[in-house]
């Protein structure tokens, strides 16, 4: 069930990105445009890096407790 949810979320993100890139008007920014705006300054890059570390920790490292005998 979890894989289905992740698949639907990933499909929605890809569909949104594709729709934003295909449509000629700029009412809705694409995800690549949003990321470009965030990473254009140093503070945005550090915040994005911190969010990436936090997400990686909570998705991957916390699940490794069984491998370490926890």
Give the model confidence (pLDDT) of 10-38 as tens digits. Answer: 999 999 999 988 887 878 888 888 899 99
pTM above 0.75, yes or no: no
The predicted pLDDT at position 12 comes to 96
The predicted pLDDT at position 66 comes to 56
Secondary structure element (H or E) that encloses residue 17, with its range: helix 2-22
* 46 pLDDT more than 80: yes
The predicted pLDDT at position 69 comes to 56
- Alpha-carbon distance of 22 to 30, in angstroms, equals 10
The predicted pLDDT at position 16 comes to 92
What is the three-class DSSP state of 40? Answer: coil
């Amino acid at each position: 069930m979890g894989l289905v949810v992740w698949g639907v979320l990933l499909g929605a993100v890809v569909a949104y990105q594709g729709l934003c890139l295909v449509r000629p008007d700029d009412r809705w920014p694409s995800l690549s445009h949003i990321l470009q705006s965030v990473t254009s300054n140093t503070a945005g890059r550090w915040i994005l890096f911190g969010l990436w570390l936090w997400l990686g920790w909570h998705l991957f490292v916390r699940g490794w407790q069984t491998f370490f005998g926890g």
